[in-house]
Amino acid sequence: MTVGILGLGLIGGSLARAYSLEGHRVLCCEKDRDILSFAMLCGAVEGELTPEDMGQCDLILLAICPEGAGDWMEAHAPFVRKGALVIDCCGVKEKICRRCSPLAQKYGFTFVGGHPMAGTQFSGFKYSRADMFCGAPMVLVPDRFDDIELLERAKKALGPCHFGRFSVTTAQEHDRMIAFTSQMPHLVSNAFIKSPTALTHKGFSAGSYKDLTRVAWLDPRMWAELFLEDREHLLFELDGLMSELQKYRDAIDSADGDALVALLEEGKRRKEAVDG
């Protein structure tokens, strides 16, 4: 299989390594020539993905920010081979699916929205790994939910990544859920670390601090774009959190131990109900 990949960051680089490791031919489009050269030197990539070579690709994976991925597809859709499969790996789905699905219909290729639920707090090709997606969930967003053949095709095409499970949903539901499971943790972590106390935490912190602040180390431009593209759902979650935090603050400010215990008990019960 010949695989074209747009972007050689953490996700794109890990995809390239995974497919190359299993003997597939990998071509990449990467604006940073040094990164592309390094990826070729270490064997993750065979060569550059150009419009002339796109017709050879059985599978194209879009692994850059949604706006850039949409722009690239609009410019390069005419070069995609008819019948080829295109899967995006962007962090939000509504906009990219809205832009790419009509292109697929117009030019005769197949598009499926996708989101690999894996990564680290670090970004860039140097942190990419061939086993990044092993056992991880993969969300698929097809145009039609009753097209079992398409879903099986997508799963087979993504086989070299060794995802642990696949979920199928709509673009709208994906973005609603991802505001809670991914965007909010990044936002809260990034805000939490701004406390002036953080400058002197060493020697006083352990696992809970590390868990809460791990994803504060993020790519600001990428996450800002994701937050703004999904702002309606993110604002809903943010408003809800701020409302809950105010309850805790009020209980502490008034030294209301009973109210504070009740709030903590409620949160504990919710965690048990949600995650067992």
pTM, two decimal places: 0.90
Mean pLDDT of 130-159: 94
Side chain identity at 271, as an amino acid letter?
Answer: K
Least Cα distance to 88 among 69, 102, 104, 75 occurs for 69
For residue 122, the model assigns a pLDDT of 83
- Give the residue from 116, 119, 128, 106 showing the smallest Cα distance to 35: 128
What are the pLDDT digits (tens) for 196-208? 999 999 888 889 9
Give percent of the chain above pLDDT 70: 100
Q: Pinpoint the alpha helices (H) of the chain.
A: 10-21, 33-41, 51-54, 66-76, 94-107, 148-157, 171-178, 184-192, 207-213, 220-229, 231-253, 257-275
Question: Can you give the pLDDT at residue 3?
Answer: 98
DSSP character string of 107-143: HT-EEEEEEE----S--SGGG--TTTTTT-EEEEE-S
Domains of the chain with CATH codes: 2-169 (3.40.50.720), 174-275 (1.10.3660.10)
pLDDT of residue 5: 98
Q: Which band of pLDDT confidence, cut at 50, 70 and 90, is reported for residue 231?
A: very high
Q: Identify the pLDDT of residue 276.
A: 81
The answer on pLDDT for 88 being more than 90 is: yes
State how far the Cα of 14 lies from the Cα of 11, in Å rounded to an integer.
Answer: 5
Convert the pLDDT of each residue in 111-134 to its tens digit: 999 999 998 878 899 999 999 999
- pLDDT score of 123: 85
Q: Mean pLDDT, the chain, as a whole number?
A: 95
What single-letter amino acid sits at 54? M
